[in-house]
Structure 1
Amino acid sequence: MLRFSDWIRKVRPFIIPTSLKRKLVYVLVFSTLVPLLLIGMISYMSMHTILEKKITSGIHSNLKQVRVSLENVLSNLNYSSQQLALDGRIGKDIYAYLTTEQPYGRKMLAGQIETEMNLLTSTNPNIGLMFYYLKDSEQILFPNLLVKDHFQPERLPVFTELQSMTYYGPHPTYNAHFNRTVMSLTRKMDVPDLEPLYIYMETDNRLVDTIFNKLQYGMEVRHLVIDTDNRIAYSEQPDLFPAGTIFGGAAEQGNGKMIGDFYLFEEDSNQGWRVAAVISASAYKQEIFHWFLQFLAVALLSLSVSLAFAWLIWRTVTRPLTRLNREIRSMTQTQEARGLQLTGTDEIDYSLRRFNDMQKTIVELIEDIKQSERKKSRLEVEKRIAQINPHFVHNTLDTIRWQARMNGQEDIDHLISTLNRVLHYNLGKGETASIHEELEALKDYVALQEVRYQFHFDIRISVSPEQLMLRIPRFILQPLIENALYHGIRDDGFIRVEIGRSGQERIRIQVSDNGGGMTPEEAGQLLKEEHSSRRQQGMGIGIPYVVQSLKYQYGDAASIDIQSAVDEGTTIAITLPADYVEEENEHASIRCGG
C-alpha cells in the first residue's frame, strides 16, 4: 500500500517543479489562467445581465408583435363581418333572400349573394371560410368554400365576446380542403320574424401559423392565448398548460419567472385577453451558453498560445544553457581551452566569456602543476643520484684497497681509469645519451663489478649499427644489469641485452638473465617508485629510478614490463619513442666481459 509520504514524494515534482521547462510552463499557464478567470467572472456576470435583458427585451418585442397581429386579425374579422351584417350590402340581400317567396327572385338573390361573397374573399386575402347559418335548423347558407360536416360553433374555444360578436381562439378550421389552425368569429344578425341567423368567418389557413412563428424569437417558443375569463383558449404546451383550464397568470408567476423548467412571458391586450410565451430554460439560456462556449474557446486559444510561448522561451533559454553545459563537459573531458561560441543572448554570452576565462586559467594552472611535478621528479632523481653515488665511490675505493693489498699495484692504473670513466659518465650532465655512449659506460661498470666480485660475468649485447645513433635516457641500462646481478647469476649464467626497433618510431630494450628469478608479486613491487628494495649494493640505484626516469621524460609514451619466475630467470623489457643523434659507429655487436 502506498504510504502518504511516498505519495507526497511522487507528486512533489509536479506541485513544486524543479526543472526550468516546468517552471516556465507553470508561470505562463498561471499568468494566463488567472487573468482569464478574473476577466471571465466579471464578463460572465456583466454579459449574463446584458444578455438576459437582451433576450427578455427580444421576447417582449416579439410577443408584442404577436399581440398586435392578433388584434389586427380580430379587427379584420370585425370589419369583414360588418359587410355581411344587415346594415351591409350583402346583409340586405340575405334578408331579402330569406323573406322572398318567389323562386325566381330567390334564385337571382342567391346568385348575387354568392358573387358578393366571392368578391369579398378575393379582395381580402386574410379571410378564409365564411358563410351564414341558421342556428335552430343548423342550416348553412352560401359558404364560399366546402364546409366539414358537423359544424358546432358552441364547442369552439371562446376568445372574447363583444356585443353581438364572439371571437374564438385558434382552432382547427372547418374548411374541408385543409387541416390548419385558424381564428374565427360568429356574429348574430337581428332578423325580425326569422329564426336566429349568424355569420361565421375564419381567418386564412396560413395566417395563424404566420402570427405564431417561432423563428422570429431565435429559439424554441410555445404560445398561449388566455381569454377574458382567464381561461386558456389556445395552448402550444398542452402538457403543462392544457387548453380550457384556468391560467394563474402574471399575478402568480410574473413575467420572466420560472414555472418548473420553463420561463413565462405575457403581453396584455386592451380587450382583456392576453398572449403568453413559454420558453424552456435550456432554450432561454442557449445564447448565454453560446457566449460561454465562445469565451471558453478564446480561453483555450490563449492557453495554447501561452504554452507555445513557454516552449519558445524554453528553447530560447535551454539552447544557450546546453551550449554552456557542453563547454563544461568538454573541459572535464579534454582539459583544453576551445574556441568560444557565443549564443546571441547577452546574459548567457557574458557567462560564457567568464567561463571561458576561467577555463583558460584552470588549463594554465593544470599545466603549471604538471611542470612542477616534472621538476619535482627531476629533483628527486638528482637527489637519489647524489645520495647513491657516495656509496658507489666508497665501495669502489674499498675494492681498490683490498686489490692493492692482495695483488700488488699492477692493476691499480687500469682500475682507476675505469672508475674515472664511470664516474665521469654517471655524473655527467644531460638527460639522454646515445646507445653507443650508454653501452661504453655499461662495459666499464661491468669491468668494475668483475673486479669487485672476482667473478667473470657473461653479458651478451646485441644491437645493430644503425641503432647506435638513437638516444635513450642516460644511466638506464646500468640499473637493469644491476638488477640481474642482484638477483644472482649461477656459474653458467649469462645476461643478454637486446636493443632493436619496435615498429617505425619506437625502440625496444630487453635485458634477460637465467638467474634465480622472482615471484610475480616481487616483480610488481620492483615497478613501484617507493619500493624498499631500491637500496642495493655498489653503484645501483634500482628499478624505481628507471621507472621514474621514463615517466619524467616520456610520460605514457614509454612502458616497462618485467617477466620473471623462480629459478627461471628474469626478462625486463622497455619500449620508448625513438630519438636520433648525429653520430656514426661501426659496431654491429658488442660483447662485454668475454
Structure 2
Amino acid sequence: MKLIPRSLQSRISWIYMLISVFTIGIIGATLYVGISRAVMNESVQSANMAISKSGTLVEMYIDRLKVLSTMLAHNPQTIQTLSSPSQEGEQEELQFIQLALQSDPNIKSVIVIGKDGYVLSNEKKLNMRRSSNMMNEPWYVAAIHSTNPVLTSARMQKFSMDKNNWVISMSQEIKDANGHNLGVVLLDIEYEGIEDYLNDLELGSGGFAFIINSEGGIVYHQDPSYFTDPAKQEQLRTISMSKQGFDASANLLTYRTKLRNSDWTLVGVSSLDGLRQVRKQLLLSFVLVGIGLLLLIMLVSPFLAKSITRPIRRLEQAMQKVKSGTLEVSVSETGATEVQGLAQHFNTMVTEMRRLMQDIETKEKTLHRYELSVLHSQINPHFLYNTLDTIVWMAEFNESERVISTTKALAKFFQLSLSGGSEMTTVENEMNHVAQYLIIQKERYGEKLQVRLYFDPALASKVIPKIILQPLAENAIYHGIREKEGPGLLEITALPADDGSVRFIVKDDGVGFDPDTRANTEREEETLRTLPKLGGVGINNVDERLKLYYGQPYGITLHSRPGEGTTVTIIIP
C-alpha cells in the first residue's frame, strides 16, 4: 500500500491540508493561550476587586460603628448620668440609646456600664457578670483597653455554636473631664450585619472568604464548623499566610486585604469557575471552528490543487499528442509563472519542430523529385536506336505507310512520356503510352507478338505515376516472348478492385523462370534482382518509384513458372 500519492494534484492537496492543519493548530493554540490568559487576568482582577469591595464595605461599617460608640462615650448626657450619684438624666440617655438603635437595624443591643456596676441598656433583663467594682471583671478591663471589634456571644456570655447568638462587640471607654474612667459603652452588632457583606461574594463553587484577626482567631467564615475545628482553623491560618495570587495547579486565587481601623484581615479564595467555564467553552469553540475549517479545506483543496495542476495537465496532454505524431498543438500560457514559462518553452519547441519537419519534408520532396527524374532518365537508348533502325529499314523498302505509322507512334510515345514535365498521368494516358510502345514493337516482331489491352473506362481519369506499364511490357517482350518458340501473347489490363484500389496486370505466356532456382546463391540472388533491368527502366525501377509515392506496402508482385509465362501485378490505392 502506497501511503504517498503519486499524482501532483493529490500531493498538492495533501500538502495543503497538512499545512492548513498545522497552521490552524498553531493559530488556535496561540489564540487559546492568549485569550485564556486575558480571561484569567480579567477573572483575577474581577475577583480581587470583588474581595476588595467587600473589604471596603466591612471597613466602612466598622468605621460607622466606631463613630456611633464614640458619640455615645463622649455624649455629655452619658458622662453626666454616670458621674451623678443619683444618675440624673437616665431617661435622656435611654432616649439617646434608642436613637442609636434606630440608626442601624443590625445593632442588637447598646449597653452603658458604670465602673460601679450601674447599667443602662435597651434590654431590660441583662444576664451578665457585674460587681460594685467593675475593674475586678476581666471582660470589663479588656473592653476598656480594646479598640478593635471582637466576635463573641451576646452580652459577653460563654461562646456557643448558636450562630443566632453571635455578635460583633464594639467597646469604648467613658471618661470624665479629668480622664478618669466612668464606665464602658458596649455595642453588640448582630453577626449577620457582617455576614451580609460577605455572603454575596461570587468566589466559585470551591471558593470561600473568611476574616482572621491579628492573633489568628477566626472572625468570619460561612461554615460554622471552622470556629470549633482546630484543623480547619489551622488550614485557614496557613492560607492567610500563603503567597497571594493565582495557583494554576490548584486553580485557586488567593487575595488578602487588611481592614482599616481593625486587626482584621479579609481573605478571599476563588476557584474561578467562570475561568474554567470560559476555557472549556473557548476550547470547544476552537475545536468546532477547527473541524469546520478542516472540512472546508478538505472540500476546497482538491479544487485548488486541480486549478494549480490544470495547466500542467494540459501541457502533459499536448506532449502526448506530440508523442503520437501530432504537431498542430498549442498550450495556453496561463497559471503560475513557472508553468507559464514551461508552456512558452513547449510552444516554442513545437513551433521549431514543425519548422524542422517542414524543412525535412521539403528536402524529401526535392530529393523525391530528383530520384524520380533520375529514374525517368533511365530509358534505354537502345530502344530509340532500334526503332530508328526499323524506320530506316522500312524506308529502304518504300513502305511509307509503315514508316509514317511507326514515326507517329514514336512521337506519341515520347509526347506521353514527357507529359508536360509532370510526374503524374492518368490511367487512360498510361494505357495509350504503352499502346504506342507496343505498336512500335509490333512493327519489329510482326506476328510473333500478339497484344491485348483493356482498361475500365471508369478509371480513365484516375491519376497515377507515369511510365509504370511500358517497362513491364518491355521486360515481358525481351525476357519472355522473344525467347519463346512461336508467337506469344501479351495482355495488359487495368481494373478496379473491391477495396477501391486499381489493379494493373501485365501477363505474358513466354518462357517464364523459376524464382526459387535463381535464389540459391547470393550471386544468383543478385542476378535475380538485376535481371529485370535488362529491359529498359526495369521492374525494380518501377517498384522503387511506387514505394516512393505510396509507401512500402505498395509496389510490384511477380509470379512466374518455367514454360508458363510471367504475371506482374501492380496495386495502386
Aligned counterparts of 2:108 and 2:465: Cα–Cα separation in 1: 133
Q: Do the aligned partners of residues 21 and 227 (structure 1) sit closer, same or farther apart at CA in structure 2, a change above 3 Å counting? A: same
Q: Do the aligned partners of residues 459 and 349 (structure 1) sit closer, same or farther apart at CA in structure 2, a change above 3 Å counting? A: farther
- Native 8 Å contact 2:412 2:436 kept in 1: yes
Aligned counterparts of 1:236 and 1:389: Cα–Cα separation in 2: 137
1:264 aligns with 2:259: no
Q: How does 1:127-526 map to 2 (within 5 A)?
A: 160-161=150-151, 174=164, 184-185=167-168, 202=190, 208=195, 211-215=198-202, 221-232=207-218, 234-235=220-221, 243-245=232-234, 247-249=236-238, 252-256=241-245, 258=247, 261=250, 262-270=252-260, 271-280=262-271, 335=326, 343=334, 356=347, 359-387=350-378, 389=380, 425-426=416-417, 429-446=421-438, 460-465=452-457, 467-479=459-471, 495=491, 497-500=493-496, 508-511=502-505
| SS of alignment partner, residue 374 of structure 1 | helix
Deviation at 1:265, TM superposition (A): 2.1
Identity %: 18
Aligned counterparts of 1:531 and 1:31: Cα–Cα separation in 2: 83
| Alignment gaps of 5+ in structure 2 | 78-93, 111-121, 130-147, 173-185, 519-525
Number of residues of Structure 1 aligned to a counterpart in Structure 2: 486
- Native 8 Å contact 1:64 1:267 kept in 2: yes
What is the identity, as a one-letter code, of the residue corresponding to 1:378?
Answer: R
Output one character per residue of 1:513-543: Cα deviation in whole Å (capped at 9) or x when no partner.
59889999x9xxxxxxx99836514335455
**Aligned with residue 569 of structure 2, among 567, 572, 581:** 572
Partner of 2:48: 60
Aligned counterparts of 2:558 and 2:221: Cα–Cα separation in 1: 117
**Aligned with residue 539 of structure 1, among 535, 538, 553:** 535
Deviation at 1:500, TM superposition (A): 4.1
Q: Do the aligned partners of residues 170 and 247 (structure 1) sit closer, same or farther apart at CA in structure 2, a change above 3 Å counting? A: farther
Deviation at 1:81, TM superposition (A): 9.9
Aligned counterparts of 1:246 and 1:34: Cα–Cα separation in 2: 42
Deviation at 1:370, TM superposition (A): 0.9
What is the identity, as a one-letter code, of the residue corresponding to 1:497?
Answer: T
Aligned counterparts of 2:434 and 2:160: Cα–Cα separation in 1: 139
Q: Do the aligned partners of residues 550 and 124 (structure 1) sit closer, same or farther apart at CA in structure 2, a change above 3 Å counting? A: farther
- Native 8 Å contact 1:435 1:467 kept in 2: yes
What is the identity, as a one-letter code, of the residue corresponding to 1:269?
Answer: L
What is the identity, as a one-letter code, of the residue corresponding to 1:184?
Answer: V
Aligned counterparts of 1:32 and 1:513: Cα–Cα separation in 2: 88
Aligned counterparts of 1:73 and 1:499: Cα–Cα separation in 2: 133
- Native 8 Å contact 1:69 1:211 kept in 2: no
Aligned counterparts of 2:247 and 2:458: Cα–Cα separation in 1: 118
TM-score by length of 1: 0.54
What is the identity, as a one-letter code, of the residue corresponding to 2:353?
Answer: I
What is the identity, as a one-letter code, of the residue corresponding to 1:65?
Answer: K
Output one character per residue of 1:84-129: Cα deviation in whole Å (capped at 9) or x when no partner.
99x9x9xxxxxxxxxxxxxxxxxxxxxxx9xx99x99987555799
- Native 8 Å contact 1:536 1:542 kept in 2: yes
Deviation at 1:555, TM superposition (A): 7.0
Deviation at 1:497, TM superposition (A): 1.4
Partner of 1:591: none
- Native 8 Å contact 1:159 1:228 kept in 2: no
Aligned counterparts of 2:403 and 2:565: Cα–Cα separation in 1: 39
Q: Do the aligned partners of residues 447 and 361 (structure 1) sit closer, same or farther apart at CA in structure 2, a change above 3 Å counting? A: same
Q: Do the aligned partners of residues 260 and 301 (structure 1) sit closer, same or farther apart at CA in structure 2, a change above 3 Å counting? A: closer
Aligned counterparts of 2:492 and 2:462: Cα–Cα separation in 1: 20
Deviation at 1:549, TM superposition (A): 3.6
Aligned counterparts of 1:434 and 1:23: Cα–Cα separation in 2: 67
- Native 8 Å contact 2:153 2:159 kept in 1: no
Q: Do the aligned partners of residues 322 and 187 (structure 1) sit closer, same or farther apart at CA in structure 2, a change above 3 Å counting? A: closer
Output one character per residue of 1:317-340: Cα deviation in whole Å (capped at 9) or x when no partner.
656556666666666667555789
Deviation at 1:246, TM superposition (A): 5.8
**Aligned with residue 57 of structure 2, among 48, 56, 69:** 69
Aligned counterparts of 1:20 and 1:122: Cα–Cα separation in 2: 85
Output one character per residue of 1:493-517: Cα deviation in whole Å (capped at 9) or x when no partner.
87451334879xx662332759889
- Native 8 Å contact 1:381 1:549 kept in 2: yes
Aligned counterparts of 2:109 and 2:556: Cα–Cα separation in 1: 129
Aligned counterparts of 1:352 and 1:477: Cα–Cα separation in 2: 53
Q: Do the aligned partners of residues 258 and 354 (structure 1) sit closer, same or farther apart at CA in structure 2, a change above 3 Å counting? A: closer
Deviation at 1:474, TM superposition (A): 0.7
| SS of alignment partner, residue 211 of structure 2 | strand
Aligned counterparts of 1:242 and 1:568: Cα–Cα separation in 2: 137
Aligned counterparts of 1:28 and 1:349: Cα–Cα separation in 2: 25
Q: Do the aligned partners of residues 356 and 284 (structure 1) sit closer, same or farther apart at CA in structure 2, a change above 3 Å counting? A: closer
Tell me which moved more, 289-298 or 538-547: 289-298
What is the identity, as a one-letter code, of the residue corresponding to 2:571?
Answer: I
| SS of alignment partner, residue 536 of structure 1 | helix
Aligned counterparts of 1:245 and 1:375: Cα–Cα separation in 2: 116
Q: Do the aligned partners of residues 514 and 211 (structure 1) sit closer, same or farther apart at CA in structure 2, a change above 3 Å counting? A: farther
Q: Do the aligned partners of residues 200 and 363 (structure 1) sit closer, same or farther apart at CA in structure 2, a change above 3 Å counting? A: same
| SS of alignment partner, residue 234 of structure 2 | coil
- Native 8 Å contact 2:9 2:309 kept in 1: no
